[in-house]
Amino acid sequence: MDFNTAMLIIVAVYTCFAYLSSTRQAESLSTKGTEPQSIASDNAELAKEFIQLKENISTLQAEIDRLESLLEAYKAEDQEDKLCLIEGMKTMGKFLGQDSLSAEADGESYKGWTERRGSL
């Protein structure tokens, strides 16, 4: 017997064992997976996971809503702070005999106007 024939026999035997092994695994999986108890337990587990996911989604939605309301409150507070700053600058300008709006009309920003007035 030469080398090629020996290799051919080895490959044929290996292929047969691999085929038989995969067939047995497929049979055991098919009989195990079709049992009514197995299907029922799988369905129960899936139902529990689904309920848990729905609860998680509800929790996340509530957290998103809370964060959105906080963001809106922050934006409103920020806008209120800006308005208070502008009113304060107007009052300071009137106290110093300047009109803060005329500084803006001259092309000078509020920041530049307050920096210039800050040295007083």
54 HSE (CA, 13 A, CB side): 6
* 57: in domain: yes
| Segment 57-61 mean pLDDT | 86
* 67: in domain: yes
In this predicted structure, what is the pLDDT of residue 31?
Answer: 59
In which band, very low, low, confident or very high, does the pLDDT at 105 lie, cut at 50, 70 and 90? Answer: very low
Q: Domain range spanning residue 65?
A: 35-118
* 22: in domain: no
| Segment 60-78 mean pLDDT | 84
Structure tokens at 25: 């695994």
- The total number of structural domains that make up the chain: 1
pLDDT (tens digit per residue) in 13-54: 878 777 777 776 666 655 555 566 676 777 888 888 888 888
* 106: in domain: yes
pLDDT over 70 at 103, yes or no: no
Q: 99 and 78 in contact (C-beta within 8 Å)?
A: no
- Which pTM was predicted? 0.39
